[in-house]
Chain A
Amino acid sequence: MINEDAKIHPDWLNRDELESKSTRDGYGRGVVEAGEQDERVVVLCADLAESTRSHWFKEAFPDRYIEMGVAEQNLATVASGLANYGKIPFITSYAAFSPGRNNEQIRTTISLNNVPVKICGMHAGVSVGPDGATHQQLEDIALMQAQPNMSVVVPCDVEEARKATLASAFNGKPMYLRFGRGNTPIFTTAESPFEIGKAQYIWRGGSPEAAVIACGGLVYNALIAAKELADEGISVTVLNNHTVKPMDRSAIVEAAQEAGAVVTVEEHQITSGMGSAVANILVQEYPVPMEYIGVHDTFGQSGDPDELIEHYGMGVSHIKEAVRKVISRKK
């Protein structure tokens, strides 16, 4: 059943009633709030103001919006200088380009330099849709979680994206925040707790047989899968694991201990994403059978977001199938 502490939207199960928005909107709102709270906040954008939603900040604080043009290496390095001086820069582009194109600049001038630049990667995952493989960033979590000093957050809906953006502004650290383009159900609320580094149960069945650990827009699919599995007599837990790094180690271990099997769910390459980081923890602390939902070492292609999610095996039915499989492996 729904974990009451998560303060999930009462209409969460009614997809027709539930409003949908892109998590990038949450960034757009959150960064304006951050800008209102602290004048050190500046936004840099590489010629994608509207599609990154940075234009809302530009309208609110034109003097603190910095246009970079199509130059993502410069986006990262100018931001490094601004942060070094004392500003709190949010840098925005598509995740395919930032941190896709400017990875070394981020490594040397942000992570190693240890300055608080907030890297906001938009349009991540196959759910960008029609733009096709070049724009469907599926390796960004891998790039960013591998760098020392860097934190990585993947919000599950627009509301959590707003909170994550606001929280990241004031922690004084290099951050990577991952956002999607497609509209996804807004199933958390203003009251839902959010803390960087703290995973949140949103569904807890009694005597669970598997723990579903998810991040990003697919957390909603995991929740629906949990409900349908419960109706079929299979009890699971669903953990919203929004902070890929530093990961909530104790929550991951406890979920594995309680259920004895784990399924991870993310819109990213399974070779090097959130699920890999979960496995990294569990293999050291509490090994259990695991299954991965995500992209299996392939590039995407053009299509509608929903059909791509289905095609690449990240739909509700795939999550349920993975749960059944992982439970069968326990025996």
Chain B
Amino acid sequence: MNHLHDGKIKELEEQANAIRQTIIEMLIEAGSGHTAGPLGMADIFTAFYFHILNHNPKDPFFEDRDRLILSNGHIVPVRYATMAHAGYFSIDEAKTLRKFGSRMQGHPERERLPEMESTSGPLGSGLSQAAGIAYGARMDGRKFYVYCLMSDAEHQAGNLWEGAMFAGANKLSNLIGVIDRNNIQINGMTEEVMPLEPLRDKYEAFGWHVIDVDGHNIEAFVDSIEEAKAIFEVPTVIIAHTIPGKGIEGIEFDYKWHGKPPKGEEGERFLRELRTLGGKIKSEHE
């Protein structure tokens, strides 16, 4: 992996837009689920599956693959959509989200879909699991990276800080955390519900290297991963500043879109907006 050239950045941005459309289509089909978080993390998931991760959809369990642990399981539609676009399964299967008998469970389940790497949903437990994988891998001299994607609000859970303390104490530099810092949670804005700031200082106090980055600037995000990999002494956490509901005007930043899907005509409007990049493209989609 290396720095991105302009053509590749444009390609990834278009890929992220296609993934956002798939997310909306999945949520319309499902009739329930989370909208804001998945849209907000589409750029980062695109960066992971189309540039950062050492992975292979055709051989998903090879021993030295990078591990991507999704701690905040509720944003899993973005992971299903991205993995479908990456070739793990069909987009049609991704659209069986939340349906009876589907591998696309409402929250990810490793037993039904081992490519998820772990089961998650209850918040605050992913970082510790990622730390356990990183610890075991280091014991055996393995070189892969363990990435843990977290929400911001799950930093209100004690288990998460136990994991942060453990990873810091054991200097797990093969562990890279990514926080979706979108500032919203179910009951409102994080700083009003239960303040998280100063988040950077907290991680630094726990022995981590901290990077702040624009979570919608794929080039900058890829650079932040490169920086994290260059840190050999301590674990790194990337605080990715994102916009919940990114890509659809009117729902961006609105915490009320945390846990509901678009309904009926609303969904069609969202899709139209994504296809025309917010009206910037006049085409047959109009």
- Expressed in whole angstroms, the Cα–Cα distance for A104 and B137 within the complex equals 25
In the complex, chain A residues 185-242 whose Cβ is within 8 Å of any chain B Cβ: none
User: Is B135 located at the chain interface by the 8 A CB criterion?
Assistant: yes
Query: What is the distance, in angstroms, from A83's C-beta to the closest C-beta of chain B?
Result: 8
Q: Known: A69-B165, A71-B165, A113-B110. Contact between A77 and B132, CB under 8 A?
A: yes
Query: Nearest residue in B to A107 (C-beta to C-beta)?
Result: B122
User: Is B133 located at the chain interface by the 8 A CB criterion?
Assistant: yes
| Residues on the B chain within 8 Å of A13, using CB | none
Query: Nearest residue in A to B109 (C-beta to C-beta)?
Result: A112
Q: Known: A85-B136, A113-B110, A114-B110. Contact between A77 and B122, CB under 8 A?
A: no
Q: Are B121 and A81 in contact (CB under 8 A)?
A: no
Query: What is the distance, in angstroms, from B140's C-beta to the closest C-beta of chain A?
Result: 8
Q: Are A109 and B125 in contact (CB under 8 A)?
A: yes
User: Is A84 located at the chain interface by the 8 A CB criterion?
Assistant: yes
User: Is B156 located at the chain interface by the 8 A CB criterion?
Assistant: no
> Residues 119-135 of chain B: 1 if any A CB is under 8 Å from the residue's CB, otherwise 0?
11110010011111111
Chain A, interface SS category: helix
Q: Select which of B128, B139, B159, B165 is within 8 A of A81 by beta carbon.
A: B128
- Expressed in whole angstroms, the Cα–Cα distance for A105 and B158 within the complex equals 12
| Residues on the A chain within 8 Å of B134, using CB | 81
Q: Are A85 and B133 in contact (CB under 8 A)?
A: yes
User: Is B163 located at the chain interface by the 8 A CB criterion?
Assistant: yes
User: Is B212 located at the chain interface by the 8 A CB criterion?
Assistant: no
Query: Nearest residue in A to B129 (C-beta to C-beta)?
Result: A81
Query: What is the distance, in angstroms, from B263's C-beta to the closest C-beta of chain A?
Result: 30
Query: What is the distance, in angstroms, from A127's C-beta to the closest C-beta of chain B?
Result: 30
Q: Are B159 and A74 in contact (CB under 8 A)?
A: yes
- Expressed in whole angstroms, the Cα–Cα distance for A105 and B163 within the complex equals 13
Query: What is the distance, in angstroms, from B149's C-beta to the closest C-beta of chain A?
Result: 15
User: Is B214 located at the chain interface by the 8 A CB criterion?
Assistant: no
Q: Are A104 and B139 in contact (CB under 8 A)?
A: no
| Residues on the A chain within 8 Å of B190, using CB | none
Q: Are B122 and A84 in contact (CB under 8 A)?
A: no
| Residues on the B chain within 8 Å of A66, using CB | 135
| Residues on the B chain within 8 Å of A251, using CB | none
Q: Select which of B119, B135, B137, B159 is within 8 A of A113 by beta carbon.
A: B119
In the complex, chain B residues 110-169 whose Cβ is within 8 Å of any chain A Cβ: 110-111, 117-122, 125, 128-137, 139, 158-159, 162-163, 165-166
- Expressed in whole angstroms, the Cα–Cα distance for A68 and B162 within the complex equals 9
Chain B, interface SS category: helix
Q: Are B132 and A79 in contact (CB under 8 A)?
A: yes
Interface size class of B (residues with CB under 8 A): 20 to 34
Query: Nearest residue in B to A83 (C-beta to C-beta)?
Result: B132
User: Is A82 located at the chain interface by the 8 A CB criterion?
Assistant: yes
Q: Are B133 and A84 in contact (CB under 8 A)?
A: yes
- Expressed in whole angstroms, the Cα–Cα distance for A79 and B135 within the complex equals 10
- Expressed in whole angstroms, the Cα–Cα distance for A63 and B118 within the complex equals 26
> Residues 123-156 of chain A: 1 if any B CB is under 8 Å from the residue's CB, otherwise 0?
0000000000000000000000000000000000
User: Is A73 located at the chain interface by the 8 A CB criterion?
Assistant: yes
Q: Are B125 and A108 in contact (CB under 8 A)?
A: yes
- Expressed in whole angstroms, the Cα–Cα distance for A71 and B118 within the complex equals 21
Q: Are A113 and B132 in contact (CB under 8 A)?
A: no
Q: Are B162 and A109 in contact (CB under 8 A)?
A: no
Query: Nearest residue in A to B117 (C-beta to C-beta)?
Result: A84
Q: Are A109 and B118 in contact (CB under 8 A)?
A: yes
Q: Known: A63-B139, A112-B109, A113-B111. Contact between A74 and B166, CB under 8 A?
A: yes
> Residues 81-110 of chain A: 1 if any B CB is under 8 Å from the residue's CB, otherwise 0?
111111101000000000000001100110
A-B contact pairs, 9 of them (CB 8 A): A71-B166, A74-B159, A74-B166, A77-B132, A81-B133, A83-B132, A84-B133, A108-B125, A112-B111
